Structure 1
Amino acid sequence: MAELRTALVLGASILALSASAASAAPASSLVPLPASQEIIDQASPVAIAEGARIETPAGDADARAAADYLRDLTERTRGLGLRVASAGASPAVVFRRDPTVAGGPEAYDLRVEKGRVTISAAGGAGLFYGAVTTWQLMTPDAAKGPVSIPAQRIHDAPRFSWRGLMIDSARHYQSPAEIEHMIDWMALHKLNVLHWHLTDDQGWRLEIKKYPRLTEVGGWRVPAGAAAQADIDPATGKPRLYGGIYTQDQVRRIVAYAAARHVMIVPEIEMPGHALSAILAYPQLGSDGPAPAAIQSDAGVFPYLYNVDDKTFGFLGDVLTEVMDLFPGPFIHVGGDEAVKDQWKANPAIQARIKALGLKDEDALQSWFTHRMDDFIVAHGRRLIGWDEILEGGPLPASATVMSWHGVDGAVTAAKAGHDAVVSPAPVLYFDNTQARRPDEPPGRGYLVTLKDVYGFDPAPAGLSDDQRAHILGLQANLWTEHIRTDDRLTAMAFPRAAAVAEAGWSPQGRRDWLGFAARMPVQFERYHALGLPADPAALEVAVDQSPGDAVGQASVRLSTQLGLGQIRYTTDGSAPSPSSPAYASPLTVVLPSTLKAAAFADGAQVSPTAESKLDALSVLRRTSQQLQSCSGKLVLNLEDDGPPRGPRARFMVDVINPCWIYPEVDLGAISKLTVSVGQVPFNFQLGADRAKIPLHAPATANGELEVRLDRCDAPPIAVLPLPPARPGVELSTLSADLPKLSGRHALCLSFTAKSLDPMSVIDWVQLVPAASASAKAGS
């Protein structure tokens, strides 16, 4: 997908690197790194060729499934056709049951010696993970055909039992095929828990047969913005609906698909908050009368909570009964987060219920609510799990598990009280945060969470005793999808960062090392490409940041990579970089115009794709909204335009609580003009009291203006650019203005005037025009 630069990183260019990258690969290319791996230098490697046989014990269904999985992966990546049989001569790979393999049901031993690969495990999951490791040993590069595996011994078992990803299907629907794809990608990283977020304010995706209106109403909505309102469905004559649901038959197939890959699915049914979609379907469930359907396309925290009468609990019990019939795993997630209590406070009947129950306040009522649902769940042989807000208002139910997203404090509190916990802290494990400051990064939250940031997170909180630490089940990364509307973007936001989650959850802490992990990433990306996994390539790429040089006609260029792998080498004459090209050590001074190409090299091999940037007098002065600074950084989002309904859309980095941008360090003595591309996005954010704090500056003209200020955002404007009237079908407008003659380096502060918040004007890019260019254009 071009928008994610996949063609660059995961296409022909990375395949061209395969042979050289293999020679630079680390001693182990396994992800996650196994608990122990011993290379046997004196023993002969094991060759795997076309037609090689995989042997499984007769009648062992788990072993047969693992062998079939290995065969399929090998054919898809190396193009080798292997045979699976229970008996025969000279097997190349042997699966065997061994109850003595230590480490639990996911552990395995792997021996590459005596002419074969032997995978031993006590449990089916161990056999499966041994197959995954064997496949990785067979794919140390992107080559096709026979492969030789060095002789070695591996013993492997996970550090934590919960190694998860959460997929939010409520905000944006993913196809069943995409859910299965994500399960496949998880299994290949030894991730074993899919937390499936199925209900929220914006959608109810799960078919509940007793309450069909949940999906009839909650499964579909009109997206926010004028473009969606104008996108008329000819079949209905109304704005086209967006959404989707999962039937119970589809869910059963997905659950079985996951189980075959040793992935447990944990369903989440939100309560008592995030309940708008259910209340829209059945208004009697709510605490404060009818809710407006139009706000279902908003993001943020809604005030709509379930009622606390017996009929509501009857409804929730009916729903969970059907949920538990679909999902056989031990955990049922009830949410519990962000339950704003305003409606409970204002409802006389609920206040009377609080008094009758002898509760202190609304937080205590939520605790009582959680206990009541826990009683129901436990009576059905399951365990309740909820976000860390379930700790508030009173002690937890005895068997309840906490998922800690406000840092790790909730997990620490739970573990000290004897409760199990999963660490899932924002922002580092919130994968809706951006991975790089690139204009073509997928939309999401504007906080930067790189692959290295994720790898640096340790799931074991400090300050716990050994007994308390045993309550930390593991970790989980979350894919919230308020701004992730396509399947490919979901995968790109997850990977490669989920590989870092996998290593944190599986590998012993003492074996984890960022540089070693980074060295294994180029090979891992080759595997991604071979399987069609559209991972975000930002971690591999060389980032090129350009700015004006000290003299006219020059640019200052900074080069960097997230991995920090090898040495960056570059050219400025248009030729491809090589191991003998100049090495980058400090910011470059480049004569304009030039074409700069750069790539990273390690041990003489290229370990990144080649980055190419054309540098000229205008490019060094152009900044996208992703490259500008936020004035206050309160709630920065990388938003997508609401139109066109189909096809590519512009993306804008904006602080929705303070929409204001800063272009720093501008040499105004060399600048004569400012050109800005602007757009509009719907203001569909539930911000509660924060909405009233958003500054609105009165416009002087009918459509408002873009105001440019010097150094301070409260200074008088030095330029005012009137906005044009809104034009249907036109998403972006270009504004230009001359700047006053000033000297010195200054920051430019840019903000809009407006009569209302909706729609919100936003900056796409800013182009400063040097005085020489403006004069030359005027003369022509």
Structure 2
Amino acid sequence: MKKFVCWLLALMGTQTALALTQGELNEVADNLEIRYHLIDSMPKSCPAPAKQCYLSELRLRSPMPYDGADWAIYFSQLMPIYQVDSELFKIEHLNGDLHRLTPTEQFGGFSADDEYTIRFYTKNSQITRSEFMPNYILADQAQRLLPRVIASTRTVRDEQTQLEQQPYLAPFESYHQLRVSDKDQTPWMGADYLARHQSEPVFSHAPEGVIPTPRAFKVVSQGRINLDKGVHFELTGLNLADIEMAARRLAQLGVEQTPKGLPVSVTVDPSLPIEAQGYEFNSSTNRITIRASDAAGAFYGVQTLAGLMDLKTRSIPSVAIADAPRYAFRGLHIDSARNFRSKQFILDTIAQMGAYKLNKLHLHLADDEGWRLAIAGLPELTKIGGLRCLDLSETRCVLPQLGAGTGTGAPRNGHYSQQDYSDILRFAKAHHIEVIPSLDMPGHSRAAIIAMEARYRALMAKGKKEAANEYRLIEEADKTRYSSIQHYHDNTLNVCLPATYRFVGKVLNELQRMHERAGVPLKTYHIGADETAGAWLDSPACQALNKKQTITSMNGYFIEQVAAMVAEKCIMVAGWSDGLSDVDPQKMPKQVQTNVWSTLSEQGHKVAHQQANLGWKVVLSLPDVTYFDFPYQSHPQERGNHWASRALDTRKVFEFMPDNLPVHAEFWRDVLHHNYNADDKDSGLKPGVGYAGMQGHLWSEMIRDDVQAEYMLYPRLLALAERAWHKPGWAVPYQAGRIYNDKSGYFSAKSQQLREQDWQRFVALLGYRELPKLTRQGRFFRIPTVAASRREDGTLKLFSEIPGFELEAHINGRWISYHPKLDFDSVDAVRAVLPDNTRAGRALPIPAPVEQDSQ
């Protein structure tokens, strides 16, 4: 205790010469208590100049008295703090989301157990709990010592749900912590809301079928085919390697390959009248027959065998299936840049993608917060660009954005070695999945810029000026001031420098070599195509370039140059739709893949139609329905971002009609939970024009570990696979020139009824058959929250939208199994648990908060 007090005096005192030691800094970081309170997400007025803001406060408490001022706390705040109401403390926005809190001259020190409050206003909105980052860092202002994460700001793991909890963040208990303005009608999706808006399951067991739904499916006999003795593959026209991973999944589910197993005849014959990636499947008690015109189809046929199987009985029905995919492109995007995803996570995800017939893995490998792929000859990219820590000079790492903390071993840091990447490529190939790498440019490039600056300084110190400038990505004479969407002022490549294109060429060459060495040629490269508005305005290099040629868009110029470099290597170029909107289509290669990510509720269908009409391969990447970093439900405890969707559950993905984008205005709402119009009068698809496919997205800004990543991914991934593979009969055909809204009525009552029947079939297969398989394979899926209502006789009614779980009620301090005679008023919370009771879902209290602002 005396040692601690002495250190605090040394740290905070202005009249002592004692130097702070590392041990003393560590001790205070382990004891200082910090608590964050979101007071109001929609205050009645905001201090100028912000028109939208929210009001918060930090509370600091020390367990013992001390004074002094030689300290700083660094923390992540997604939206910049622009006004601080405190005489004792100041907060500065440094870069990105990094802020620094320091005492003012008026601060006289901490008194034992007194709480000090720092109230502040922040721009825009920040309303889901996962947007409030952990891992505040204590450092000495002189940066002599190793900084340390303040223990009270670390996350913890809930023992029952195994989900991340934030003890430093005060509870959210009001609609003023859920909504962003007085126009926001976002509902609090508690147990009572779910009871009114979710469909209660009608199946008590899994119906016959498979996910994703085959094009034609017929049960030919009522008997079951037992697979207890395993299976024996008889191959014609293909190698075992072509289906090995599907066979491996069968083995994981309890069906091994054995000489005496049920014969499974698998034939690949290009002359068969079966579509690419399609297959025919017939099963009987004596034999299973799978036929396809290519190896991918054969692989999917074996995956269908695994999909048909019931885990408990290890049996399948006798069926005849004729199947082929709806879209050739069925993708998943994984962001490993913001927060790193382990190699094992990627491999595990590839296995599930193959199981459900997804075939494109878009790997996001570089962004502002990290460069995640080793590039030969440029070790700084991963040594520095792949590590976040508190080094304001950024000579050892990039700044600790997104609550990264300080540890080099943290799961949010890291990169893939060339061997790792080769292993990923080969594993994906074995699952008939194409890997599409993306190293985002010219915006979102801060990690690359910082890394190349470190290279520049190292080579200049050795007197190697030419080598130092070879890949330097900034222009010292460029004094442009700008701010990116993530509030960086230095994250955009200078597109007018020859060194930028030397760097891009170097990266492309090494990337292509890695693919060739792995035996997996690089077919598609995603350049990103993101820019930062306002960049390059005062760049002498850009001004000189503009004198030589008129450039309408600097971003478009960059994309056209890089697209030509990519096409020259016989690689298809891909990019995000907003960046591709800046190019001259006549200056682009003939083959272009565009990921359209415009929001449907903001007329996003127009962008998809316009770019499809150019003849480009449109991959639907719409945030409203394909961004799996958004919450499943609008509830403070559900993790995720909030800017495009407040509730994106499995059913919403299932309901998506990708061939008819504007129709969703009839039954979906915008981000403020309002109805919206989708006007397609002047933006229709040309006759015969369609989409290449669709892609799900797992962005990682708020996903710090692989467990949370799997929670966000499953079970939505299965609904994505269903919709990418299968076109349902209830989907409304697209017709150009219509206006859709909640009154237009093109989605008929009959079609809605058919959709409900299809959903009941799908969700029963999901809950009773597929989630147990994910459990068997160790995947961490989201357990559904539970709907609760009061029956007329006062008893409690419970159900979960996805069946197959045990339901529990919390009464008198303990969880008990639900039964229909429980008294509603005696229950204070409800939840679902896995049948083996190893893990519980998120509990919902009864009742939910009252919507006070509407009274």
Shorter-chain TM range is 0.5 to 0.7
| 1:103 shift after superposition | 4.2
2:536 aligned with 1:347: no
Aligned counterparts of 2:412 and 2:550: Cα–Cα separation in 1: 45
8 A Cα contact 1:208 1:319, kept in partner: yes
Give a deviation string over 1:544-576, Cα, whole Å, max 9, x none. Answer: 599xx9xxxx99989664449999998979863
Paired residue for 1:771? none
| 1:272 shift after superposition | 1.4
| 1:528 shift after superposition | 0.9
Among 613, 627, 631, the residue aligned to 1:416: 613
| 1:45 shift after superposition | 4.0
2:313 aligned with 1:69: no
8 A Cα contact 2:277 2:297, kept in partner: yes
Paired residue for 1:529? 775
Aligned counterparts of 2:615 and 2:410: Cα–Cα separation in 1: 50
| 1:428 shift after superposition | 1.8
Among 282, 300, 318, the residue aligned to 1:129: 300
Aligned counterparts of 1:577 and 1:449: Cα–Cα separation in 2: 28
- The 5-angstrom pairing of residues 204-283 of structure 1 reads 204-222=371-389, 243-283=413-453
8 A Cα contact 2:477 2:540, kept in partner: no
8 A Cα contact 1:542 1:560, kept in partner: yes
2:373 aligned with 1:200: no
8 A Cα contact 1:221 1:241, kept in partner: no
2:760 aligned with 1:515: yes
Aligned counterparts of 2:497 and 2:764: Cα–Cα separation in 1: 57
Among 347, 353, 361, the residue aligned to 1:186: 353
8 A Cα contact 1:53 1:93, kept in partner: yes
Give a deviation string over 1:204-263, Cα, whole Å, max 9, x none. Answer: 111111222211220101277799798578xxxxx9896111111211111011000011
State the secondary structure of the residue aligned to 2:432.
Answer: coil
2:653 aligned with 1:454: yes
Paired residue for 1:405? 597
Among 83, 89, 110, the residue aligned to 2:258: 83
Residue-pair matches, total: 567
| 1:487 shift after superposition | 0.9
| 1:82 shift after superposition | 2.7
Give a deviation string over 1:448-467, Cα, whole Å, max 9, x none. Answer: 21111111222224542452
Paired residue for 2:281? 110
For the aligned residue pairs, the C-alpha RMSD in angstroms reads 4.2
8 A Cα contact 1:331 1:385, kept in partner: yes
Among 419, 425, 439, the residue aligned to 2:622: 425
State the secondary structure of the residue aligned to 2:303.
Answer: helix
- The 5-angstrom pairing of residues 356-395 of structure 1 reads 356-360=548-552, 364-395=553-584
| 1:34 shift after superposition | 0.8
Aligned counterparts of 1:35 and 1:505: Cα–Cα separation in 2: 12
8 A Cα contact 2:809 2:827, kept in partner: no
Over the matched positions of the two proteins, sequence identity in percent amounts to 26
Aligned counterparts of 1:612 and 1:336: Cα–Cα separation in 2: 38
Paired residue for 1:468? 689
| 1:609 shift after superposition | 10
- The 5-angstrom pairing of residues 609-648 of structure 1 reads 620=847
* CA separation of 1:249 and 1:136: change in aligned 2, threshold 3 A: same
8 A Cα contact 2:831 2:841, kept in partner: yes
8 A Cα contact 1:4 1:537, kept in partner: no
Aligned counterparts of 1:594 and 1:420: Cα–Cα separation in 2: 53
Aligned counterparts of 1:577 and 1:93: Cα–Cα separation in 2: 44
State the secondary structure of the residue aligned to 1:372.
Answer: helix
Give a deviation string over 1:559-608, Cα, whole Å, max 9, x none. Answer: 66444999999897986335xx259xxxxx843x54666779xxxx9999
State the secondary structure of the residue aligned to 1:421.
Answer: strand
2:493 aligned with 1:306: yes
- The 5-angstrom pairing of residues 135-150 of structure 1 reads 135-138=306-309, 140=310, 142-143=311-312, 147-150=314-317
* CA separation of 1:596 and 1:491: change in aligned 2, threshold 3 A: closer
* CA separation of 1:489 and 1:556: change in aligned 2, threshold 3 A: same
State the secondary structure of the residue aligned to 2:322.
Answer: strand
8 A Cα contact 2:594 2:617, kept in partner: yes
* CA separation of 1:347 and 1:595: change in aligned 2, threshold 3 A: closer
- The 5-angstrom pairing of residues 327-726 of structure 1 reads 327=515, 328-337=521-530, 339-360=531-552, 364-396=553-585, 397=588, 398-407=590-599, 408-437=605-634, 440-445=637-642, 447-461=646-660, 463-469=684-690, 472-510=691-729, 513-522=758-767, 523-538=769-784, 541-544=785-788, 561-563=800-802, 576-578=817-819, 581=820, 590-591=824-825, 593-594=826-827, 620=847, 664-665=851-852
Aligned counterparts of 2:634 and 2:159: Cα–Cα separation in 1: 13
Aligned counterparts of 1:221 and 1:395: Cα–Cα separation in 2: 38
| 1:533 shift after superposition | 1.0
TM-score (normalised: structure 1): 0.65
8 A Cα contact 1:271 1:336, kept in partner: yes
Relative to its length, the structure with more strand (as a share) is 1
AA matched with 1:520 = L
* CA separation of 1:387 and 1:231: change in aligned 2, threshold 3 A: closer
State the secondary structure of the residue aligned to 1:401.
Answer: strand
| 1:122 shift after superposition | 1.6
Aligned counterparts of 1:157 and 1:265: Cα–Cα separation in 2: 22
* CA separation of 1:227 and 1:206: change in aligned 2, threshold 3 A: closer
8 A Cα contact 2:282 2:319, kept in partner: yes
Paired residue for 2:137? none
Among 233, 238, 244, the residue aligned to 1:60: 238
